[in-house]
Structure 1
């Protein structure tokens, strides 16, 4: 069975209201092939909305939670309209008295499942985010999938748990602030693909939005194990570094077994 995947490498910009953010998303997704089985956006996709609250420090990023309902409504509508599974990056959301960095997966009927990031990168401590506890495999779309959010790709046990529990594709929305951070996640992502004989989709946030928001550095990729069934370098598709763009690649699930 062949699966088509599109990764949307999103260039974050400061926006003054949700309508501006929605226009960015809708413009980028129009370039996605209609027959892609999965679409992924990057980590902290909504962070540009923090500019709507005026000049504030990094800790105020959590205020983007105020856009949670609009964010979910947007991607619920897009998944239904396009009849595609959308991993809508991640978003900071308040649950009771805690904030979590949550990846949302919208099915073709608009239903949603979620993954709370389990290992917080030290820089995220400034945003007062808490860590999730669960690692689940999701039967959404034609195959079983797992999610690792950025830093989670650097922890081998996480991808191992997902693959042992049946995930054939692991999606990784990320937001790395430097070239060093990007390559750290990218190298680990490819190692996870090779170790577990799975496909790994790395989708970073890019751009230079200006303080207090961090810069994003990255290059989206669809990665395979390195063996005779795939390209020698294990790269199925790869974006131009730091561009606002998409990549699409097709992976053959039968080659994993």
Structure 2
């Protein structure tokens, strides 16, 4: 297959797990009915709430999220990305933030535990300390060869600020980069689209970026604007700020042609930086 339809879903998840999964299925069904073959859910699709509640519910959330991905992929015959959900860590006190890609038959194609953790004090008064309750993944994501589609590289949210991770993915054959996120409203307005386009342009790869949007709880607010961007950096679809989806075609021949026209990856002088 040289081209297929991709969908980056956009949700406003809260602490109500059942409502979150119901909203996610609604958007999955719409995307599947429109013909999407590859569908991505955002980071924290099953739960956004207090850290204490997330830690207490971690085992239940991990089981429900994993089962949900398998069920949805089979039911709607799609390749489905769960953009990030909590999995109990070995220390019993924190969680991993895990992304999983599931095939149409419900089989796990690949997984990735978020490496870069968001420990930031923002000028709007919000403070984020992911490392206090989340364990950083210790393995680089692998590139997943999805039968009939393309070669997919996984990442999660804050990773988008670390271009070396995406160089690793492209060096290992990635043609499409998935960047599910719950990007803050404050940073998103200035950095989200710019960073996504940069990752697409410098790696001459498609970017599929599912997103959280709107108000979740207390002062927690996400930027929205789930996007699909082509290897030239053109925004093909933007979901805006409402729940919904960015849906656009992915053309593998375009990846090849742009990499031939702009062979910057081949022009890298890696020996000078080793």
Length-normalised TM-score, structure 1: 0.86
Other-structure match for 2:102: 106
Secondary structure in 2 matching 1:86 = strand
Match of 1:22 in 2: 21
CA deviations on 1:6-65 (whole Å, 9 max, x unpaired) are 1111122342xx4333322222222113431200011111224x4xxxxxx544433341
The SS at the match of 1:61 is helix
Shift of 1:77: 0.8
Say if 1:246 and 1:3 are closer, same or farther in 2 by CA, change over 3 A. same
Provide structure 1 residue ranges, at least 5 long, that are not aligned to the other structure: 51-56, 227-232
- Secondary structure in 2 matching 1:33: helix
Q: How does 1:33-112 map to 2 (within 5 A)?
A: 33-34=32-33, 35-48=35-48, 50=49, 57-65=50-58, 66-97=60-91, 98-112=94-108
Deviation of 1:246 (Å)? 1.2
Following the alignment from structure 1 to structure 2, what is the Cα–Cα distance between the partners of residues 202 and 20?
22
Aligned mates of 1:14, 1:207 — CA distance in 2: 14
CA distance in 2, matches of 1:255, 1:37: 18
Tell me the residue number matched to 2:4.
Answer: 3
Q: Are 1:162 and 2:169 counterparts? A: yes
Q: Secondary structure at the match of 1:42?
A: coil
For residue 130 of structure 1, give the secondary structure of its aligned residue in structure 2.
coil
Q: Does 1:118 align with 2:111?
A: no
> Residues 87 and 106 of structure 1 are in contact (CA less than 8 Å); yes or no, is this contact kept in structure 2?
yes
Contact 1:154 1:189 in 2 (8 A): no
Q: CA RMSD in A?
A: 1.9
Cα distance in 1 for partners of 2:82, 2:223 equals: 19
SS of equivalent residue, structure 1 residue 146: strand
Q: Is contact 1:2-1:252 (8 Å) kept?
A: yes
Greater Cα offset, 202-211 or 78-87? 202-211
**Preserved contact between residue 213 and residue 224 of structure 2 (Cα < 8 Å):** yes
Tell me which of the two structures has the higher relative contact order, counting C-alpha pairs closer than 8 angstroms and 6 or more residues apart: 1
Which secondary structure does the structure 1 equivalent of 2:200 belong to?
helix
Judge conservation of contact 1:173–1:204 (CA < 8 Å) in 2.
yes
3-state secondary structure, aligned to 2:62: helix
Write the distance in 1 (CA, Å) between the matches of 2:189 and 2:41: 16
Between the aligned partners of 2:191 and 2:198, the Cα distance in structure 1 is: 11
Unaligned runs of 5+ in 2: 120-127, 257-274
Aligned residue pairs, count = 240
